[in-house]
Amino acid sequence: MLSLLVLFGCPYVFSPPDLDDIASDDDGDGYDESTGDCDDSNNEVYPGAAELCDGVLNDCDLGSIPTIEVDDDGDGYVECEIDARGWAGTAIIGGMDCDDTDDLIGLSTFPGAAINNGQGCMKDVDDDEYGDESPERPNVDAGTDCDDEYDTVNPGLEDEALDGLDNDCSGEIDRIYLQNSSAKFTGEGKNDSAGHALSGGDFDGDGSTDVVISAISAGGGAGAVYVVYGSTSGLSSIDLGSADTKLSGGPSDYAGWSTSTAGDFNDDGYDDLLVGAALFDEDWSGATYLLFGSPNKISSMNLDQAQAVFEGESQYDDVGRGVSGAGDFNGDGYDDIVVGAVGVNVAYLILGSAEALTEGLAEADAKFIGNNVSIGDPVADLGDINGDGYSDLALASPFQTVGSNMCGAVYVMLGTDNTSDRDIADADARIAGEDTSDQAGRSVAGADINGDGYADALIGAPGGPLGQSGGAYWLFGSTAGMSNMKLTKADGNATRENVGDYAGWSIAGGDVNGDGFDDVLVGAPSDTAMGYGAGAAYVILGSSLVAANMGLADAEAKMFGEMSNDSVGWAVTGGDTNGDGYDDVLLGANGESSVKSSAGAAYLILGGGF
Phi, psi of 187 (to 5 degrees): -60, 155
Give the 3-state secondary structure of residue 50: coil
CB neighbour class for 369 (10 Å; exposed up to 12, middle 13-18, buried from 19)? middle
pLDDT for residue 9? 44
Q: Return d(Cα 482, Cα 429) in angstroms, integer.
A: 6
Is there a contact between 93 and 63 (Cβ–Cβ < 8 Å)? no
Window from 114-128, 163-177, 266-280, 520-534 with minimum mean pLDDT: 114-128
Select from 346, 486, 490 the least CA-distant residue to 430: 486
Average pLDDT (183-189) is 98
pLDDT for residue 121? 67
pLDDT for residue 391? 98
Arithmetic mean of pLDDT over the chain: 88
The CA-based angle 218-221-223, given to 5 degrees, is 50
Q: Chain centroid to CA 355: how far?
A: 41
Is there a contact between 272 and 201 (Cβ–Cβ < 8 Å)? yes
Is there a contact between 496 and 551 (Cβ–Cβ < 8 Å)? yes
Window from 37-51, 233-247, 344-358, 429-443 with minimum mean pLDDT: 37-51
Average pLDDT (595-610) is 93
pLDDT for residue 468? 87
How far CA 158 is from CA of 164, 165, 171, 403, 608, in Å, comes to 16, 13, 13, 50, 21
176-605 CATH, one of 2.130.10.130, 3.40.50.20, 1.10.20.140, 3.40.960.10: 2.130.10.130
Instruction: Convert the pLDDT of each residue in 489-515 to its tens digit.
Output: 999 999 989 999 999 999 999 999 999
Instruction: Convert the pLDDT of each residue in 376-411 to its tens digit.
Output: 999 999 999 999 999 999 999 999 988 767 899 999
Q: Return d(Cα 365, Cα 4) in angstroms, integer.
A: 133
Is there a contact between 560 and 530 (Cβ–Cβ < 8 Å)? yes
With a pLDDT cut of 70, the percent of the chain lying above it is 86
Domain boundaries, the chain: 176-605
**Candidate ranges 74-78, 114-118, 382-386; pick with highest mean pLDDT:** 382-386
pLDDT for residue 282? 82
Average pLDDT (406-427) is 95
pLDDT band at 2 (very low <50, low <70, confident <90, very high): very low
pLDDT for residue 109? 43
pLDDT band at 137 (very low <50, low <70, confident <90, very high): low
Kindly tell me if the per-residue pLDDT of 11 is higher than 60.
no
With a pLDDT cut of 90, the percent of the chain lying above it is 64
Kindly tell me if the per-residue pLDDT of 114 is higher than 70.
no
Q: Return d(Cα 232, Cα 140) in angstroms, integer.
A: 48
**Residue with the larger pLDDT of the pair 419 and 16:** 419
pLDDT band at 224 (very low <50, low <70, confident <90, very high): very high
Tell me which long-range contacts 348-357 makes (C-beta under 8 A, separation of at least 24): 348/310, 349/393, 349/419, 350/310, 351/419, 352/262, 352/263, 352/264, 352/265, 352/266, 352/267, 352/328, 353/265, 353/266, 354/266, 354/267, 354/268, 357/290, 357/307, 357/308
* Length reported for the chain: 610
pLDDT band at 139 (very low <50, low <70, confident <90, very high): low
pLDDT band at 13 (very low <50, low <70, confident <90, very high): very low
Kindly tell me if the per-residue pLDDT of 133 is higher than 80.
no
Q: Return d(Cα 144, Cα 155) in angstroms, integer.
A: 7
Phi, psi of 219 (to 5 degrees): 65, 35
